[in-house]
Structure 1
Amino acid sequence: MPDRDRILIAGGGIGGLAAALALAQKGVASLVLEKASQLGEIGAGIQLGPNAFHCFDRLGVGGAARAMAVYIDQLRLMDAMADGEIMHIDLGDAFRRRFGNPYAVVHRGDLHGVLLEGCREHPLIELSVSSEVTGYDQDSRTVTARLGNGETVIGAALIGADGLWSNVRRQVVGDGAPRVSGHTTYRSVIPTERMPEDLRWNAATLWAGPKCHIVHYPLSGWKVFNLVVTYHNDAPEPVAGKPVPVEEVRRGFAHVCDRAQNIIRHGTDWRMWVLCDREPVGNWVDGRVALLGDAAHPMLQYMAQGACMAMEDAVCLADSLARDPTDLPAGLALYRDRRLLRTARVQLTSRAIGDHVYHPDGPHAALRNAVMSAKSQAEWLNVLDWLYGGNGLD
């Protein structure tokens, strides 16, 4: 296939690799352009709803993805002040029958590795590192991506999967810097034997407290526990991956119950991120250029759907382009139209969950407890049906 017929993909993260795999399943060649000197993922745990597993199958990596996942029994919400359970959602047979796939947790690096191996094995996918896309030019037939090293590459279309600070988005949308949420997240991964024995639950557990919350779950075949703690401290500026002492982490959780505080005491090598997102926008597409994943719709972590939405984007993108391979701009516009409302709903719901489930205090928290504890397991499945009931791709 001539170079001008391939699809260029800016970004070799989860979204970019998923896009390459999805296109390859349709017989379309791609070139992934990653700015880093090697392909990999930082971070720790990631939660995967049934919609992620729908995507794995469409990407041709379903078996490998299922093999590296940890299948948890529950989503569990705890009251970080009263030290008691508010509610839980069972993830067993009824959940799997309803949504057609399981709920699981994985290490982000393991997930990226599955996608990367799939890309390396496919003859239609080329991977290029040290290749940051800084901008693009296009005409009626091609897109030329400009790289940070001064080189250019040509293709039939360009997909901006280059994350929250996307260079491609800057040219497509031009909406400036992301919105700083004021929420600071601290992450640690500890050996399972360091996790307090009475908290080694096979669950994705959330402890919700005033302006703070704590999340933990097992990873990597139960070898380690992922710890993620977040404090609404009105942080003014973005920060990513900064090492911090445990004393700084504990400062935002002195008011919660001792058992929840004890989780933080066992963490080591803490790193901090100040969470950012953006307002939903509709102009993801500029002719032969389109955005995907966090470049299109960055969201807060509170629905655990960032990676899932990127993989859904990838599958939908490939399907939309395949409907008429002779008119790629029309295919990109169709992709945007099919994804816009769903991803906007996840973006805005993620914010709302942070405000009304994760961080409320006083009567607000008491109302949360009353409303959420009153629902039956069947009612919770109905609540989740919009997100998990379909594959998000139709």
Structure 2
Amino acid sequence: MSGRNLMETFCRSLLVFMTLLALNGCVQNTAPNEELLDFTLQKQNHHHQDYDNWQETPIQLISVTSLPGSGPFQNVTIIFTSSKSVDLHWLTDSEIPLEHLAPGVETFHKSSGEGLNDATVKLPRNHGLSTLKVNLIAKNTTFELQAVIDITGNSQHSERISSFTFFVPSSSEVGISSTGKTQFHVYVDTSQSTFKFAIITADLYSLVQRNSTSHIIEKSAYSFQPDVTSTALRLANRTHQENTYHADLIMDSIAVANNGGMLTMLSGCIGTGKLVKMLYIRRTLLLRTKPGMPPIPADTVAFITTDTPRNISLTQSSKTLIVIRCTAVGNPRPLISLAKEGGQVVTEKSNVTIFAAQYPFRTAAIFAFKSTPEPGEYTCIAKSGKGVSRRTYSIAHKQKS
């Protein structure tokens, strides 16, 4: 081979090598057999991308019916399909279990062939709610679907829903580089639904040890909403093409590389019908740096910040429902309890309704008081293996000014 041909071959090989290095520099030092989603999806035009290996939501909401009826009850029925068995929860406006409307609340859930499900909640007519939420969690996956249903009005109404599709990585576990970097593409397709506007958000959770206590890093990225600057997590290359919404999700966190973590992606659509006002699809990805490595180190547990204030004020005339929300991550998945000062565990027999939803490496618990609680300190206790974490809330009477 001539010197010129050798030089041309060398240049072509170098060009290919540099191109691959530029595209995959974020994932170097990662085991080759680890599933790792890369940086190659950078094009602004996504019409011709191949999404055949991507995973769609395993739950699809088909229809919603509100039937006031002539008696003292109002029935709300949903029909949905699922490729997996599901945990189904009916919640109030504030995501409180409907047991607070007891006595009189009844729920029915049946399934038939081909993954078709029929679920009904029977509400007392004086329920006083404006909206109702239904939460569906696909078992053995990290998918969750929630619908916000308008239940005002006295006329019967049925609405057929064609759920939008949220395309996300097919695996529930995603490998990252040794420096904590990864990137992949997500998008929403609303073309086959009544939903014509979509949002995409993401939150990153990672355990960090400080003074022998586990803490959570929380970073947010938003797409088709106002941007939030974050060095650990951001959404880039956002495009809106007719009924599709695209974004590249970019993560850069050395804390995740050292400790593992979770990435939660959520897409929501605003309804245009009379019944379904919002529909959300949530997917949690488990982040690991090595094959076989758990996303969260064993025997660790930590709380994720919730919207519950640490100091809760009571007024004598207040009829506001007092709720304490506690969400914790851990390996194994934590169990959460609530204890009053002095160590007395709060149970459903002690003036509170308890609701817990369990996900891979995460538990979300709600403690809703049926009547005004006694003032004092209440502590959420999360236990996971040998790990224990606590978060204390203070309930006190509001002082008159």
TM-score strictly above 0.5: no
- Structure with a larger share of its residues in helix: 1
- Structure with a larger share of its residues in strand: 2
Q: Which has the higher contact order (CA 8 A, sep 6+)?
A: 1
TM-score band (shorter)? under 0.3
What's the TM-score, normalizing by structure 1? 0.25
Structure with higher Rg: it is: 2
